[in-house]
Amino acid sequence: MASRKGLTIVYTGNGKGKTSAALGAAMRALGHGWRVLIIQFFKGDWPVVYGELELAKRLHPQFEVLQLGRGFVKIMGDKKPFEEHVEAAQAALNLTRERMLSGNYDLIILDEVIYALGYLDFKLIDLKDVLQIIREKPPQMHLILTGRNAPAEIIEAADLVTEMMEIKHPMKKGIPAQQGIDY
Ligand code: ATP
Ligand code: MG
């Protein structure tokens, strides 16, 4: 379609809804018969079953979800060597570049990639590498990045940026993550 312009979209902020918004966009894209790839930068070593991953098994190969992270970094009892997290995030970035340049996808979602740029006291990947991915994006392909605290350079490079703002979150009342809503 002549008018199609692949967008770079960022969902950031401290309120819930960043990954959920990206999954909503994925659902629309899938409905149009598009090919969608989600690369998750932290998820991958947690003992929960993600709904998106289960759906991807049913919709393969139109919809793929790759959980390439090694789980929580330095929190929630993480005992893995820090290098292991860095290597996993680097591998996820390399795979992103390779898949993106294959031209096989209409929408690629880099879930939580913005956390990997630096969060609390860790940094797994370089900002310049993510900016390069945005620059090299095929013109028709849409790219979504999620994660709190998007740096100014990412905001600048994006076409659409939405900040989720927390007004209330059940976690504050001690209500744990809910299947179908949080994972
Ligand atoms: P979701 O995946 O539910 O759309 P998110 O992508 O906006 O949330 P992340 O920052 O990626 O949120 O957080 C990952 C997990 O932390 C999710 O399970 C989410 O429900 C939970 N979470 C998100 N926002 C908050 C918050 N403000 N307080 C507590 N927990 C949160
Ligand atoms: Mg998220």
- Reported as a single tens digit per residue, the pLDDT across 122-132 is 899 999 999 99
Say if 177 falls within a structural domain: no
**Total number of domains constituting the chain:** 1
pLDDT score for 139: 97
pLDDT score for 3: 87
Say if 178 falls within a structural domain: no
Ligand nearest the Cα atom of residue 165: 1
Say if 181 falls within a structural domain: no
Say if 183 falls within a structural domain: no
Nearest-5° angle of CA 157, CA 160, CA 165? 110
Span 33-70, pLDDT tens digits: 999 999 999 887 777 899 999 999 999 999 999 999 88
Which are the contacts of 89, defined by CB distance < 8 A and separation ≥ 6?
41, 68, 69, 116, 124, 125
Q: What percent of the chain clears pLDDT 90, i.e. is strictly above it?
A: 84
When pLDDT is averaged across residues 166-180 and rounded to a whole number, the result is 96
pLDDT score for 44: 75
Say if 58 falls within a structural domain: yes
Main-chain dihedrals φ then ψ at residue 99, nearest 5 degrees: -65, -40
pLDDT score for 43: 81
Spell out which residues line ligand 1, taking CB within 6 angstroms.
14-20, 112, 146, 148, 164, 166, 169, 171, 177, 182
Say if 170 falls within a structural domain: no
pLDDT score for 2: 62
Does 181 have pLDDT greater than 70? yes
Q: Sheet harboring 160-163: ordered strands across?
A: 63-67, 36-40, 107-111, 142-146, 8-12, 160-163
Q: 114, 149 in Cβ contact below 8 A?
A: yes
Does 165 have pLDDT greater than 90? yes
Span 99-136, pLDDT tens digits: 999 999 999 999 999 999 987 778 999 999 999 999 99
What's CA 130's distance to the chain center, in Å?
12
What is the rounded distance in angstroms from the CA atom of residue 183 to the CA atom of residue 51?
6
Least confident of 31-45, 92-106, 146-160: 31-45
Q: Which domain holds residue 141?
A: 8-164
Say if 148 falls within a structural domain: yes
SS3 74: coil
In this structure, what token pair is assigned to residue 24? Answer: 């909503």
Which of 10, 14, 16, 162 is the best mutation target for the ligand 1 pocket, counting ligand atoms within 8 Å of the beta carbon and taking the most?
16
Domain at 116, CATH number: 3.40.50.300
Say if 131 falls within a structural domain: yes
Does 155 have pLDDT greater than 70? yes
What is the rounded distance in angstroms from the CA atom of residue 100 to the CA atom of residue 72?
26
